[in-house]
């Protein structure tokens, strides 16, 4: 099995834990908590900032000594926009499940920005449709670069069954602004209905000898996490099964500038 594919525990508790150390990179962290009613997830951010995304269910949240009340509401990531809570560095937070709750914790280095903890509600979120035909997908921007944060970029995407996404293939693995930014990335995948599967390829350009430094093709199932340390990273949803993913990105500069695979750019024309 690919080292880029993480199979998430199907049970309850703290079921996924990606750190820069475990991933072999510098910036992005990702954790997933699956809680029963009455159970609590809590942590301190230390030198990092966090965005808590209520994937499914509801919970009572507090951070920085403030009670933010009951957050969440959708019971599936396929049922509307999420609730989220931004938590700055040096801050304790806690969420107690009111219903069954799936809570994602997206993290990246704090830069001493002095931002307050804040709720990011569904009405605060921009949505867009990208692509056309069977490359159409639906994007919800949770923490885009236009909204305040130190390092984090967070977005949700729903790709209908039979469609492609993160496609034409693009990459963002060079600190070469304004053309391209260096951003590490995680994909947290969910599938509807959950017995389905999708595909994701992570690969680099071929070198002078025609050999790629990285080329991994993965079948992803409901709940899997994929690491994208570099390279292109397209996805394909199989017929009859919609694909959701939560992206977490971070790098030395908080901007998303990507480079399309030149041999596939013709798909964007006409």
Q: pLDDT (tens digit, 9 = 90+) per residue, 154-189? A: 999 999 999 999 999 999 999 999 999 999 999 999
- pLDDT in the model for residue 209: 74
Convert 203-219 to b/e letters by CB count within 10 Å (16 or more is b). beeeeeeeeeeeebebe
As a residue count, the chain comes to: 270
- pLDDT in the model for residue 1: 77
pTM to 2 decimal places = 0.96
Q: Are 259 and 179 spatial neighbours (Cβ–Cβ below 8 Å)? A: yes
- Kindly report the backbone phi and psi dihedral angles of residue 229, in degrees, each rounded to the nearest multiple of 5, phi listed first: -75, -25
pLDDT, tens digit (0-9, with 9 covering 90-100), for 34-89: 999 999 999 999 999 999 999 999 999 999 999 999 999 999 999 999 999 999 99
- pLDDT in the model for residue 135: 96
Q: Which domain holds residue 244?
A: 5-268
pLDDT, tens digit (0-9, with 9 covering 90-100), for 176-227: 999 999 999 999 999 999 999 999 999 999 877 778 999 999 999 999 999 9
User: What CATH number does the domain containing 28 carry?
Assistant: 2.60.120.10
Give the distance from CA 253 to its chain's centroid: 18
| Residue 141 confidence class, pLDDT cut points 50, 70, 90 | very high
């Amino acid at each position: 099995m690919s080292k880029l594919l993480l199979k998430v525990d199907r049970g309850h508790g703290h079921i996924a834990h990606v750190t820069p150390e475990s991933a072999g990179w510098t910036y992005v962290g990702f954790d997933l908590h699956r809680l029963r009613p009455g159970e609590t997830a809590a942590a301190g951010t230390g030198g990092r900032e966090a965005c808590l995304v209520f994937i499914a269910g509801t919970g009572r949240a507090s951070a920085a000594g403030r009670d933010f009340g009951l957050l969440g509401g959708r019971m599936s990531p396929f049922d509307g926009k999420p609730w989220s809570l931004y938590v700055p560095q040096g801050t304790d937070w806690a969420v107690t499940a009111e219903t069954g709750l799936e809570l994602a914790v997206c993290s990246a280095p704090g830069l001493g920005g002095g931002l307050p903890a804040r709720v990011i509600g569904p009405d605060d979120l921009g949505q867009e449709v990208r692509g056309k035909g069977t490359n159409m997908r639906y994007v919800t921007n949770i923490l885009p670069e236009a909204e305040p944060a130190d390092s984090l970029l967070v977005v949700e995407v729903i790709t209908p069954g039979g469609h492609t996404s993160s496609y034409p293939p693009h990459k963002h693995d060079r600190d070469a602004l304004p053309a391209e930014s260096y951003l590490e990335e995680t994909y947290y995948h969910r599938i509807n209905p959950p017995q389905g599967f999708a595909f994701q390829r992570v690969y680099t350009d071929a070198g002078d000898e025609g050999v790629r430094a990285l080329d991994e093709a993965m079948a992803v199932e409901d709940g899997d996490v994929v690491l994208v340390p570099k390279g292109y990273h397209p996805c394909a949803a199989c017929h009859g099964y919609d694909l959701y993913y939560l992206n977490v990105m971070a790098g030395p500069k908080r901007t998303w500038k990507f480079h399309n695979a030149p041999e596939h750019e013709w798909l964007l024309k006409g």
